[in-house]
């Protein structure tokens, strides 16, 4: 959007000269170019006043020439002022909405300050700026006409999600608005004499309602989640530490969804658009930068094929040291030494790369997250899919997976087991202090937030671990469907040790369960257990769930025999064994 300021003289005779011919009346006509009175976002129609400032040859404001409330109506404004023949001037123009309190001028009117205290998604912050230096070097010698174009000194940062994505989110926890935090890269001071932005500040805008219109990017329409104006400089630069949180509430409890990005490119008078499925599948988005007012520039977020960038990690004293995504990807095609440890030395972002399952067939391996986080990646597989594949005697501790998408396609037998951590666990699987945050997990049967199935004769010990903000889905298929669980899809019989879940949590999760057979039940913690012998023991203590079932029809729901008031276990297929919840043995169902 451009603002045009036309500088034309109103002098038509010597009678209009003031004093002894040294002063001239000059008229500035301001025009909002491409002005559309639609009240739409970024159409310039919110701008209703212009501030005009004049400076002398030393850069000092001429207070007597300042005009602070020049009305803008229908995209036009007129300024009448006087200049002295033979003098040098710099002229600054600032146009904004008269009700916006986010902007203030410095005491000397050489700078403009931006206050980021306030709410997000505020279209009143739209504003335009220009400085004219045509007479800063050469003095005014005669009447003149000048066109001055005002541009936004801001980058506009937009987040938009698909209509389907927002509807899915609203079905679970209604979304009402958003807030945004930016750690670095945004400025709070604009030099009105040269247009340079300075004084970097963190931005934290509180919750504001969603913009009511659609966000259009490359001809596609999205639902606005966030729109904000950020003071930046002319050249492309980066903002860092971005957290855009969609405000959501479920049954009086906060279920807000933060989308975290390490870095985004921005540029003055350009829009940076992050669009896709941003709530229910945060790894599915693209970044598009455009300029509605200059030229289109499109940038797509990098997608990395880790199959071709794997790097062998350092191995020392029985431990593989992982510092980069490429070193982690090495385990797609290379098995670790039995009994070794894989230790993360840093958190990192996988940049939406797609991995094959790691460690398939590995034995007695420890995954030590070392308190680190692996962000934004996908796992795809045929027959089964999980980050650590099918493994025996695996220990996973002190690790967070953030925004992982797992998809298992059916194999020739129709199997598609899926989970964030392990598809099929053999031996003893230990999970200690592990968080899986914002996963989207899809498979046909035996689908879990952390584990697809605990195999016959195997057992799981989970402590202090959590699945949060998940979507876990039995995908539609001709083969069997069911056995979906917030943490584990299915536990088979035959273990000589107990299945133990202590202080675990499944939070703010949607379970899209399908059930093709009566025995393929789904539960909020565990889908079902096989329960073929009295030696099958499941102990659950101090564990909470907040899970919303979607897609389980009435007939399927009637076939379930859940355990616990919160339906922690969906069913017991053969009706044997012992189930303890908070040290209380439960009556057996099947």
Task: Give pLDDT tens digits for 435-478.
Answer: 998 899 999 999 999 999 999 999 999 999 999 888 899 887 66
Q: In this predicted structure, what is the pLDDT of residue 139?
A: 84
Using CB atoms within 10 A of its CB, is residue 137 exposed (0-12), middle (13-18) or buried (19+)? exposed
Amino acid 303: pLDDT: 35
Kindly report, residue by residue over 213-230, the tens digit of the pLDDT: 898 877 788 899 999 999
pLDDT at 307: 43
Residues forming a β-bridge with 49: 71, 96
Per-residue pLDDT, 98:
94
- With beta carbons less than 8 A apart as the criterion, state whether 437 and 472 touch: no
Quickly state the pLDDT bin for 285 (edges 50, 70, 90). Answer: low
Q: Indicate if the pLDDT at residue 317 is higher than 90.
A: yes
Residue 242: pLDDT over 50: yes
Helices (runs of H) and strands (runs of E) counted in the chain? 3, 48
Amino acid 563: pLDDT: 78
pLDDT of residue 17: 35
Structure tokens belonging to residue 362: 């590995």
Structure confidence at residue 32 (pLDDT):
55
* pLDDT over 90 at 29, yes or no: no
Query: Between residues 29 and 515, which one has the greater pLDDT?
Result: 515
Quote the pTM value: 0.55
pLDDT value at position 292? 46
Distance of alpha carbon 416 from alpha carbon 354, whole angstroms: 18
Confidence of residue 297 (pLDDT cuts 50, 70, 90): very low
Nearest-5° Cα angle at 397, 394 to 399? 120
Highest average pLDDT, of 37-41, 127-131, 178-182, 329-333, comes from 178-182
Res. 100: pLDDT tops 90: yes
State CA 270 to chain mean position distance.
Answer: 20
Is 187:235 a contact under the CB 8 Å cutoff?
Answer: no
Q: How confident is the model at residue 283 (pLDDT cuts 50, 70, 90)?
A: very low
Of 246-250, 506-510, 546-550, least confident by mean pLDDT is 546-550
**Where does 154-290 sit in CATH, by number?**
2.60.40
The least confident of 19-23, 49-53, 329-333, 510-514 is: 19-23
CB 498 within 8 A of CB 540: no
Q: What is the pLDDT of residue 340?
A: 96
Which range among 137-146, 257-266, 267-276, 385-394 has the greatest average pLDDT? Answer: 385-394
Evaluate if residue 35 carries a pLDDT over 50: no
Q: What percent of the chain clears pLDDT 90, i.e. is strictly above it?
A: 45
Phi, psi dihedral angles at 504 (to 5 degrees): -105, 165
Query: What integer best gives the mean pLDDT of the chain?
Result: 83
Instruction: Specify the 3-state DSSP secondary structure of 232.
Output: coil
Note the pLDDT of residue 552: 61
pLDDT of residue 281 exceeding 70, the answer is no
For residue 99, CA distances in Å to 124, 335, 344 come to: 7, 64, 51
For position 300, what pLDDT does the model report?
29
CA-CA distance, 535 to 522, in Å (whole number)? Answer: 22
Q: Is there a contact between 233 and 256 (Cβ–Cβ < 8 Å)?
A: no
More confident residue, 260 or 56: 56
Tell me what pLDDT residue 320 has. Answer: 97
The partner residues of 473 in beta bridges, in order of sequence, read: 442, 512
Q: Could you tell me the residue ranges of all domains in the chain?
A: 3-150, 154-290, 316-585
Exposed/middle/buried for residue 423 (C-beta within 10 Å: 0-12, 13-18, 19+):
buried
| pLDDT confidence of residue 36 | 42
Residue 290's pLDDT is 52
Higher per-residue pLDDT: 289 or 4: 289
pLDDT digits (tens, 9 = 90+) for 531-584: 999 999 999 998 888 887 776 655 555 556 677 767 899 888 888 999 999 999
Q: In the prediction, which pLDDT does 2 show? A: 34
Q: Give the number of other Cβ atoms within 10 Å of residue 15's Cβ.
A: 7
Instruction: Decide which of 309 and 363 is more confident.
Output: 363
Q: Is the pLDDT of residue 287 over 70?
A: no
Tell me which residue of 295, 390, 401, 385 sits closest to 344, measured CA to CA.
401
The pLDDT value recorded for residue 590 is 55
- The reported pLDDT for the residue numbered 67 is 93
d(CA 362, CA 427): 11
């Amino acid at each position: 959007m451009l603002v045009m300021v036309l500088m034309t003289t109103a002098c038509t005779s010597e009678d209009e000269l003031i004093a002894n011919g040294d002063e001239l009346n000059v008229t500035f006509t301001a025009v909002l170019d491409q002005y559309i009175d639609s009240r739409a976002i970024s159409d310039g129609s919110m701008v209703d006043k212009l501030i005009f400032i004049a400076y002398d040859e030393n850069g000092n404001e001429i207070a007597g020439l300042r005009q602070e409330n020049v009305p803008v109506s229908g995209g036009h404004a007129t300024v009448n002022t006087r200049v002295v023949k033979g003098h040098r001037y710099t002229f600054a123009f600032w146009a904004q909405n008269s009700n916006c309190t986010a902007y203030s001028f410095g005491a000397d009117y050489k700078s403009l300050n931006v206050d980021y205290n306030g709410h997000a998604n505020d279209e009143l912050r739209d504003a335009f700026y220009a400085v004219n230096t045509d007479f800063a070097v050469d003095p005014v010698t005669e009447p003149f006409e000048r066109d001055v174009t005002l541009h936004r000194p801001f980058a506009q940062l937009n987040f938009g999600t698909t209509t389907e994505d927002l509807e899915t989110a609203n079905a679970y926890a209604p979304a009402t608005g958003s807030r945004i935090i930016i750690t670095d890269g945004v400025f709070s001071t604009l030099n009105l004499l040269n247009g340079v932005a300075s004084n970097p500040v963190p931005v934290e805008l509180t919750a504001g309602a969603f913009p009511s219109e659609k966000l259009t990017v490359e001809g596609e329409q999205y639902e606005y989640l966030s729109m904000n104006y950020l003071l930046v400089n002319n050249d492309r630069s980066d903002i860092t530490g971005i957290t855009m949180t969609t405000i959501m509430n479920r049954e009086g409890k906060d279920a807000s969804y933060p989308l975290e990005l390490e870095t985004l490119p921005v540029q003055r008078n350009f829009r940076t658009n992050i669009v896709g499925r941003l709530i229910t599948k945060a790894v599915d988005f693209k970044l598009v930068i455009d300029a509605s007012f200059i030229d289109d520039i499109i940038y797509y977020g990098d997608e990395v094929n880790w199959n071709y960038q794997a790097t062998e990690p350092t191995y020392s004293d029985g431990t593989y040291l992982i510092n980069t995504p490429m070193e982690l990807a090495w385990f797609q095609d290379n098995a670790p030494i039995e009994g070794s440890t894989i230790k993360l030395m840093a958190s990192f972002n996988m940049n939406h790369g797609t991995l094959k399952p790691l460690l398939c067939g590995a034995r007695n391996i420890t995954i030590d997250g070392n308190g680190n986080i692996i962000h934004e990646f996908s796992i795809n597989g045929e027959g089964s899919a999980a980050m650590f594949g099918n493994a025996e005697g695996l220990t996973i501790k002190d690790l967070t997976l953030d925004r992982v998408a797992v998809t298992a396609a059916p194999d020739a037998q129709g199997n598609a087991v899926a989970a964030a951590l392990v598809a099929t666990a053999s031996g003893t699987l230990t999970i200690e202090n592990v968080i899986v945050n914002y996963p989207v997990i899809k498979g046909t049967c035996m689908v879990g937030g952390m584990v697809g199935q605990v195999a016959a004769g195997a057992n799981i010990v989970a402590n202090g671990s959590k699945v949060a903000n998940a979507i876990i889905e039995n995908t539609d298929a001709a083969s069997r469907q069911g056995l979906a669980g917030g943490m584990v899809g299915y536990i088979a019989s035959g273990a000589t040790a107990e299945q133990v879940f202590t202080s675990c949590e499944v939070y703010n999760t949607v379970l899209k369960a399908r059930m093709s057979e009566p025995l393929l039940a789904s539960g909020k913690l565990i889908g079902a257990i096989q329960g073929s012998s009295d030696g099958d023991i499941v102990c659950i203590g101090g564990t909470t769930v907040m899970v919303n079932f979607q897609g389980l029809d009435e007939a399927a729901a009637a076939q379930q025999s859940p355990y616990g008031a919160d339906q922690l276990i969906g069913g017991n297929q053969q009706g044997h064994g012992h189930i303890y919840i908070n040290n209380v043995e439960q009556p057996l169902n099947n």
